[in-house]
Amino acid sequence: MSEPLIIASRESRLAMWQAEHVQRLLQAQNSARDVQILGMTTRGDQILDRPLAAIGGKGLFIKELEVAMAEGRADLAVHSMKDVPMEMPEGFVLAAISEREDPRDALVSPKYESLSALPVGAVVGTSSLRREAQLRARFPQLVIKPLRGNLDTRLRKLDDGEFDAIILAAAGLVRLGLADRIRARIDPADMLPAPGQGALGIEICEGQPEMQRIADGLADEATSACVRAERAFSRRLGGSCHLPIAGFAVSEANQHFWLRGLVASVDGTKIVSGECRGAWSEAEVLGVSLAETLLAQGADALICQINAG
């Protein structure tokens, strides 16, 4: 038996489901090697009383996992792609993106069946500036409050009556067998998803051809092209959890995709949006091109205003 493959993962229930899912795939493809999981708690999991944008951003969810890989305690890490910073740290690469689960946002509420059914003054919880901006744009009568914690914590806060509704990624609920908690899956035309939402990414240390070969077995071409376009779009805009940026691509016939993107003010009063179509092979180029188009249409000034504020 060869040396085991070690997957570094956060210890939240959803992160462990994702790691176990990848573990099963890797074990099936690499039967001669035992595949194990190294569970870890990250700083992003520990600090729950402040918005993510205020404590350092998405990188807080992956730093400890990267340290484990750099020290040789793990071979790869599994991430929700929407949690992966747009610029990878030096010495690490995004080796593969696997097939996407439902990328839409989901309304979860014990009382209301849709966003339009929420009454004036209803309290809606979300951890995302992207969701907040789009909610404020369409439903200015709602009260939007921050919601941190893992998925189970967020659902408990809803059930305890702290919120009338919360917005979560549909993928996480589906993966944990909680699809029955979804009251409505929100059409991307009404709430554009985050870049990478619903997809899983495999991170490895740079310069490891054998680990790259192993990761290649997990890659999905269509999802990879779409997510590459979304991330290129967001990266060009300086994408981070500090900015209300949405980017979502869907695969079309003949290895083409349709990319939609937007930048908004946090209060939702200003939105700059656009779309483009192109071949999978042009994913990054077209993602950047769409970002440039939005910058020329006023997104540049909007981003500067948000950063200054």
**Residues identified as active-site:** 83
DSSP string of 199-263, one letter each residue: -EEEEEESS-HHHHHHHHTT--HHHHHHHHHHHHHHHHTT-STTS-EEEEEEEEGGGEEEEEEEE
Encoded tokens for 165? 């509704």
Strands 5-10 and 76-80, by their bridges, are: parallel
Assess contact for 66 and 74: CB atoms under 8 A. no
Encoded tokens for 46? 């520990």
Strands 76-80 and 245-252, by their bridges, are: unpaired
Helix (H, G, I), strand (E, B), or coil: what is residue 95? Answer: strand
Residues 6+ apart with CB under 8 A from 244: 129, 130, 132, 133, 134, 263, 264, 265, 266, 306
